[in-house]
Structure 1
Amino acid sequence: MSSKCLVREVGQYVGQEVTIGCWVHNKRSSGKIQFLQLRDGTGFIQGVMVKQEVEEEIWLAAKELTQESSLYATGIVREEERSPSGFELTLTGVKVIHLTKDYPITPKEHGVDFLMDHRHLWMRAPRQRAILVIRNEIIRAVHQFFNEKGFTMVDAPILTPSSCEGTTELFHTKYFEEDAFLSQSGQLYMEAAAMALGRVYSFGPTFRAEKSKTRRHLIEFWMIEPEMAFVEHEESLQIQQQFISHIVESVLKNCQKELKFLKRDLSKLEQVTGDFPRITYDEAIQFLQEKDFEIKWGEDFGAPHETAIAEHYDKPVFITHYPTELKSFYMKPDPERPEVVLCADLIAPEGYGEIIGGSQRIDDEQLMEQRFVEHKLSEEAYQWYMDLRTYGSVPHSGFGLGLERTVAWICGLEHVRETIPFPRLLYRMYP
Structure 2
Amino acid sequence: MKTTIAEVHKYVDQEVTIGAWIANKRSSGKIAFLQLRDGTGFIQGVVVKAEVNEEVFQKAKSITQESSLYVTGMIKVDERSPLGYELLVTNMEVIHEAVDYPITPKNHGTEFLMDNRHLWLRSKRQHAVMKIRNEVIRATYEYYNQNGFTKVDPPILTGSAPEGTTELFNTKYFDEDAYLSQSGQLYMEAAAMALGKVFSFGPTFRAEKSKTRRHLIEFWMIEPEMAFYTHEESLKVQEEYVSYLVQSVLKNCKLELGVLGRDTSKLEQVQAPFPRITYDDAIKLLHEKGFDDIQWGDDFGAPHETAIAESFDKPVFIIHYPTALKPFYMQPHPEREDVVLCADLIAPEGYGEIIGGSERIHDYELMKQRMEEHDLDPAAYDWYLQLSKYGSVPHSGFGLGLERTIAWISGIEHVREAIPFPRLLNRLYP
The corresponding residue for 2:93 is 95
Shift of 1:52: 2.2
Establish whether residue 364 from structure 1 lines up as the match of residue 331 from structure 2.
no
- The TM-score, its normalising length taken from structure 2, stands at 0.99
Deviation string, structure 1 residues 205-250 (Cα, Å, up to 9, x no partner): 0000000000100000000000000000110011110011000010
C-alpha distance in 2, partners of 1:83/1:193? Answer: 49
Give SS of 1:382's match. Answer: helix
**Counterpart residue number, 1:46:** 44
Aligned pairs for 1:278-293 within 5 A: 278-293=276-291
- Equivalent in 33, 36, 41 of residue 34 of structure 2: 36
Q: Report how far residue 283 of structure 1 moved.
A: 0.5
Per-residue CA deviation, residues 159-213 of structure 1 (Å, 9 max, x unaligned), is 0001110110000000111110000000000000000000000000000000000
Q: Which residue in the other structure is 2:140 paired with? A: 142
Alignment of 1:165-244 (within 5 A): 165-244=163-242
Instruction: Give 1:62 deviation, angstroms.
Output: 2.4
Quick one: which amino acid aligns to residue 247 of structure 1? L
Q: Which amino acid aligns with 1:405?
A: R
> What SS does the corresponding residue of 2:75 show, helix, strand or coil?
strand
Is residue 404 from structure 1 mapped to residue 403 from structure 2 by the alignment? Answer: yes
| Alignment equivalent of 1:152, drawn from 150, 172, 181 | 150
Match of 1:123 in 2: 121
Q: Does 1:307 align with 2:306?
A: yes
Q: Tell me, in whole angstroms, the C-alpha distance in 2 between the residues paired with 1:64 and 1:98.
A: 13
Shift of 1:125: 0.5
Partner residue, 1:320: 319
For residues 291 and 53 of structure 1, the distance between their equivalents in structure 2, rounded to whole angstroms, comes to 66
1:86 and 2:81 are equivalent in the alignment: no
String of CA shifts for 1:312-364, please: whole Å, max 9, x gaps. Answer: 00000000000100000000001111110000000001111000000000000
Taking the TM superposition and a 5 Å limit, the aligned residue runs for 1:11-30 are 11-30=9-28
Q: 1:128: how far off?
A: 0.4
The equivalent of 2:382 in structure 1 is: 383
Paired amino acid for 2:275: P
Match of residue 413 from structure 1: 412
Structure 2 residue aligned with 1:394 = 393
Deviation at 1:290, TM superposition (A): 1.8
Q: Aligned equivalents of 2:61 and 2:81: distance in 1?
A: 22
Task: Report the alpha carbon displacement of residue 83 of structure 1 after superposing the two structures with TM.
Answer: 1.4
| Partner residue, 2:265 | 267
Aligned counterparts of 2:283 and 2:81: Cα–Cα separation in 1 = 51
**Which residue of 2 is the match for residue 346 of structure 1?**
345
Q: CA deviation at 1:80?
A: 1.1
Q: CA deviation at 1:139?
A: 0.5
* Partner Cα separation in structure 2 for residue 105 and residue 264 of structure 1: 24
For residues 380-407 of structure 1, give each alpha carbon's deviation from its aligned partner in whole angstroms, at most 9, with x where no partner exists. Answer: 0001001101110000000000000000
RMSD over aligned CA atoms reads: 0.7
Q: Which residue of 2 aligns with 1:113?
A: 111
Structure 1 counterpart of 2:110, one-letter code: V
The structural deviation recorded for 1:63 is: 2.6
For residues 115-170 of structure 1, the C-alpha deviation after alignment (integer angstroms, 9 at most, x for no partner) is 00000000000000000100100011111110000000000100000111011000
Deviation (angstroms), 1:56: 2.2
Could you say what secondary structure the match of 1:100 adopts?
coil
Match of 2:243 in 1: 245
Identity value in percent: 71
| Paired residue secondary structure (2:379) | coil
Q: Which residue of 1 aligns with 2:56?
A: 58
Q: Give the equivalent residue in structure 2 for 1:255.
A: 253
Partners of 2:288 and 2:6 in 1: CA distance: 52
Q: Quick one: distance in 1 between partners of 2:212 and 2:77?
A: 45
User: 1:179 aligns to what SS in structure 2?
Assistant: strand
| 3-state SS of 1:156 partner | coil
Q: Can you give the 5+ residue segments of structure 2 that lack an aligned partner in the other structure?
A: none
| TM-score normalized by the length of structure 1 | 0.99
Paired amino acid for 1:363? H
Q: CA deviation at 1:289?
A: 1.3
Which residue identity is paired with 1:59? F
Residues 34-84 of structure 1 deviation map (CA, whole Å, 9 limit, x = unaligned): 111111011111111112222222222223310000000000111111111
**Between 330-339 and 216-225, the greater mean CA deviation after superposition:** 330-339
Q: How many residues align?
A: 429
Gaps of at least 5 residues in structure 1 are: none
User: Does 1:427 find its partner at 2:407?
Assistant: no
Measured in 2, the distance between the counterparts of 1:322 and 1:90 equals: 61
Letter paired with 2:290: D
Find the residue that maps to 1:109 and give its secondary structure.
coil
SS in 1 for 2:308: helix
- Where has structure 1 moved over 4 Å in runs of 4 or more? none
Is the partner of 1:96 in helix, strand or coil?
strand
Deviates more, 1:267-276 or 1:150-159: 267-276
Distance 2:213 2:182 in 1: 19
Amino acid paired to 2:387: L
